[in-house]
Structure 1
Amino acid sequence: MKHKDPSPSAPGRPRPRPQVWAPVLVLVLVAAVVWASFFSGPGPVGPAADPASSQTADVPGAASSEPEAGEGGGRSDDEAGDEADDEAGDRADDGDQAEPGSADGASAEAALNRSVKRFRAAQRRLAKRVSDQLEARSQPVSFRVASFNVLGDSHTGPGGNKPASYPDAGPRMDMAISMLRGNGIDVVGFQEFESTQHNMFTARAGEYSLYPGLSLGTKSVRFNIAWRSSMFRLVEAHTLPIPYAGGSRIEMPVVLLESTTTGRRAWFANFHNPADTPKLGNNARWRSMAAGMEIAHLTSLHAEDGYPVIVTGDFNERAEIFCRFTAGGVFSSASGGSTGGACAPPPSMQVDWVFGSTGVAFDGYAVSDAGRASDHAMVHAGATLTEVP
């Protein structure tokens, strides 16, 4: 339907021309304002902002001042240098991509490049950490190791078989701890370490950790291994059922310890083979069986993973146990003597021993009189896990 003109012109009179100049002027003014908003200098508002800088915070993998997950607190100078180089490269990339009028695709490509660079830098840092750890695990580690029969509490308590000149277990444990500290002992194999003495030791010598503790009962507690917690951490532990007096089996400890500073690892084992006494009878058969089991197990452990093995114990034998341990050429004694088939024991021997496999070097062997702390001396030596070729 057509609309009628509400005020038609009079017949014969010309129609006036429409006035269009006013709307055109308005459009020109609006266009001028918009044009000025794009090119009015620093501090653009709204859509005139730099596309590259406005999207950086929203792009996955954008640079952050927070440390990467898993990095820990400290970084090496090399790692810091890598990150500085990466950040400089990022800034250069940002400069290339930050021209006015850059497309969104170009900004996304720049962000992807930054993410790839950060990933490669993280790979370099990880590779360096792994390399440093492997190098540390090949370096020598030195410490002091001891074997110490501390004379069980039952021997000096009521009904015990030791003379009254031996103090009770409490004062004797204080003396034993003093000997460990005074000689800088880092690892010690205890024998006759009864549950009361275990409790005294853990309460008074908190710098040491123990295995098996009391976890295997009052029989196995007598053969604990203790190590200085600041020097070693426990990686793995198991026991070996060793025939004791009369052939009864008692679980004795074997532990894999790792250096807290280098990551070097070594096996430590501690044994007490049965003695011949009027009360226990002749136990030569069981000692021989025990020695065979101990040597076979530890030789196998050493061959299996290559970690050095250190053995402490009261073996109740002198030349016999020395010759058996050293015959295969794998173990040597901290006290000296030969290694291999032609057995030449050291000139002075105790029934208490420290042996080490290949990969262990001993020095400074000593026999320290325990006085009234025990009826056994403490034997100890410096041990070095030699450099891995």
Structure 2
Amino acid sequence: MLRARQAPIEATTTDPAPTGARGPRRARTVPVTAALALVLAVSLLVGAPARAAVEPHRKPTGFGFKIGTFNVLGSQHTRGRGGFAPGTQRARWTAGSIAQRGIDVIGLQEVQRDQLRVLRNRLPRYRIWPGTSLGNQGVRLQIAFRKNQFRMVGHGHVMTRFHRQTRPIPWVQLRDRRTDRRFFVVDVHNSPKGLERERDSATAKQVRLVQRLRRKGKPVFLTADANEKREFYCKMTARTDLRAANGGKPRARGCEPPRRRLRIDWVLGGRRVAFSHYREDRGPRVRRSSDHELVHARVRVRPLRRG
């Protein structure tokens, strides 16, 4: 269909008659588009500085999430009759506990390959790292986080001694998708029972790792089955800015660990971090899954200071 071409709309103005002339004034026309363009240009020139002056600055933003730690009790510890259920069944219960409690980031210890497969299948909304990328010994420690809330933007590991073997300690750098803020998570498992020298050596390396990550200016969180109570807490908090989710006073009279009954499972976080709702969870599903508590807490990362 052909459309009729419209004639330009015109506005009418009146010119005064020349000096000394007789008769009515003559009219002339100016296109409306030109007049509007002139008005718009003037208003932009006059109004732009005012709008720029009142435009608000973007406020530094804090963010929060729930963080936890859990020793899943590896499959090899429950093979045969009696005791706990098979490792894969317990991994299913573990995945259910993590999702049911709304944990957003969690460090897992003693994971084995059959359990890793179950965790991946049962936690489709989480990414789990390092998976199998650090070899068989690297499977034992995993960091899981919600994919729709965080994006992994960096990762690495350090090697420490564990039960007469060398094992990688993994860390990730995560970016909060809503605020673009970044932070680190380190997952730790240190030697059990009488292997004090291995624990001391591993803790010293973990302290240096936290110090190195903190120099990047981002908060650091550490989840751990440290197989130590007071000693691990005092060493870690004396040489870093980490604080325990369950309290304590790192530098008061040397070191005062949390007053409640001490555990070997820890959640710690750095400066500008506030913990709340700390729990040592031994619900029915957790008790059937492992001989450890599922430790979790809410955390709030405070806004950045301006300038």
The question of a shared fold, defined as TM-score above 0.5 by the shorter chain, is answered with yes
- Displacement of 1:296 after TM fit? 1.6
Contact 1:198 1:213 in 2 (8 A): yes
The answer to which structure has the higher helix fraction is 1
- Displacement of 1:228 after TM fit? 1.0
Contact 1:328 1:340 in 2 (8 A): no
Residue equivalent to 1:344? 256
Residue equivalent to 1:382? 298
- Displacement of 1:154 after TM fit? 1.3
Aligned-partner Cα distance in 2 for 1:92–1:175: 74
Residue equivalent to 2:109? 191
Aligned-partner Cα distance in 2 for 1:267–1:182: 24
Q: How does 1:1-389 map to 2 (within 5 A)?
A: 94-95=34-35, 132=58, 135=59, 138-158=60-80, 164-246=82-164, 248-276=165-193, 282-302=194-214, 304-328=215-239, 330-340=241-251, 342-347=254-259, 348-369=261-282, 370-389=286-305
Aligned-partner Cα distance in 2 for 1:97–1:310: 58
Q: Secondary structure at the match of 1:372?
A: helix
- Displacement of 1:150 after TM fit? 0.3
Q: Closer, same or farther in 2 for the Cα pair 1:93/1:376, shift >3 Å? A: same
Aligned-partner Cα distance in 1 for 2:103–2:159: 27
Can you list the C-alpha shifts for 1:322-372, whole angstroms capped at 9, x where unaligned? 111111361111111112262111121111101111121111111011211
| Unpaired segments ≥5 residues, structure 2 | 1-5, 9-30
Aligned residue pair count? 267
Contact 2:207 2:239 in 1 (8 A): no
Q: Which amino acid aligns with 1:352?
A: D
Q: Closer, same or farther in 2 for the Cα pair 1:297/1:93, shift >3 Å? A: farther
Q: Which amino acid aligns with 1:222?
A: R
Q: Secondary structure at the match of 2:139?
A: helix
Q: What do you get for the CA RMSD once the two structures are aligned? A: 2.9
- Displacement of 1:96 after TM fit? 7.3
Q: Closer, same or farther in 2 for the Cα pair 1:97/1:169, shift >3 Å? A: closer
Residue equivalent to 1:108? none
- Displacement of 1:202 after TM fit? 0.7
Residue equivalent to 1:86? none
Q: Closer, same or farther in 2 for the Cα pair 1:155/1:262, shift >3 Å? A: same
Can you list the C-alpha shifts for 1:186-245, whole angstroms capped at 9, x where unaligned? 000000011111111111110110111111122111101000112111011111112212
**Greater relative contact order (Cα < 8 A, sep 6+):** 2
Contact 1:145 1:381 in 2 (8 A): yes
Aligned-partner Cα distance in 2 for 1:175–1:92: 74
The answer to which structure has the higher strand fraction is 2
Q: Which amino acid aligns with 2:78?
A: T
TM-score of the superposed pair, with normalisation by structure 2: 0.79
Q: Secondary structure at the match of 2:211?
A: helix
Contact 1:368 1:378 in 2 (8 A): yes
- Displacement of 1:157 after TM fit? 2.4
- Displacement of 1:300 after TM fit? 2.4
Contact 1:354 1:379 in 2 (8 A): yes
Aligned-partner Cα distance in 1 for 2:173–2:62: 17
Aligned-partner Cα distance in 1 for 2:37–2:62: 52
Can you list the C-alpha shifts for 1:34-89, whole angstroms capped at 9, x where unaligned? xxxxxxxx759xxxxxxxxxxxxxxxxxxxxxxxxxxxxxxxxxxxxxxxxxxxxx
Contact 2:250 2:257 in 1 (8 A): no
Q: Closer, same or farther in 2 for the Cα pair 1:210/1:92, shift >3 Å? A: farther
Aligned-partner Cα distance in 1 for 2:33–2:229: 75
Work out the percentage of aligned pairs sharing the same amino acid: 30
Q: Which amino acid aligns with 1:380?
A: H
Aligned-partner Cα distance in 1 for 2:206–2:91: 28
Contact 1:331 1:339 in 2 (8 A): no
Structure 1 segments (4+ residues) deviating >6 Å: none
| Unpaired segments ≥5 residues, structure 1 | 1-41, 45-90, 99-112, 277-281
